[in-house]
Chains A and B, each alone.
Chain A
């Protein structure tokens, strides 16, 4: 069964802390994505990557960075967490071209105090 695993389901951090959200997929997918999901705002794309060491900004990249050193792993980094980054973060992956159907992880709920 295909799988996208987000290592942390719930995190509570303080303002100014550095936060790492990890995502691993076991499907050999080229594309990986980070979205945040907020009530009334839907899913908004933060960053995506279409290959190792490649990254593209999404619609709301400010305050975030990403790392993709290995094909299966895509990390989201909040250099200095702020309260407006309290959200549900969803990782997804897909094959390049063709179907582009996203497989999602369970999500990481981050609360910044």
Chain B
């Protein structure tokens, strides 16, 4: 069964600091990878996704993630965070031919002005 691990459960950063959130998945075959974000009081929404091709994908609001197949990782990065990035971030994976999306437990990011 596929699984997703997010290593940082709660991250506190000052504005302008760089961000990297770790995500590892368990499935060894073809995967589709996602980062979703939930801003306070809002719906979960897609931040970025990887299906194939360039392993460095760019999403909304300056976020990017790198797919490293040999490390089963899909880490999320942003060079300079803003207070408005305060949210909970979820890594997710679909593997094989299934439609089932498996999520990690999430990382709460708090950005201090």
Interface size of B in residues (CB-CB distance below 8 Å): 22
Contact (Cβ within 8 A) A102 B43: no
Contact (Cβ within 8 A) B102 A102: no
Residues of B within 8 A of A (CB): 6, 9, 32, 34, 36, 43-46, 49, 51, 90, 92, 94, 99-106
Residues of A within 8 A of B (CB): 31, 33, 35, 40-45, 48, 50, 56, 58-59, 90, 92, 94, 96-97, 99-102, 104-107
A53 to B59, CA, bound (A): 35
**B94 to chain A: closest CB distance in Å?**
5
Contact (Cβ within 8 A) B101 A33: yes
B contact face: mostly helix, strand, loop, or mixed: strand
Given contacts A31-B99, A56-B100, A96-B99, whether A104 and B105 have CB atoms under 8 Å apart is: no
**B10 to chain A: closest CB distance in Å?**
10
A42 to B102, CA, bound (A): 10
**A4 to chain B: closest CB distance in Å?**
8
Contact (Cβ within 8 A) B104 A42: yes
Contact (Cβ within 8 A) B106 A42: yes
Name the B residues within 8 Å of A41 (CB-CB): 105
**A92 to chain B: closest CB distance in Å?**
8
A101 to B99, CA, bound (A): 10
Contact (Cβ within 8 A) B32 A100: yes
User: Nearest residue in A to B94 (C-beta to C-beta)?
Assistant: A100
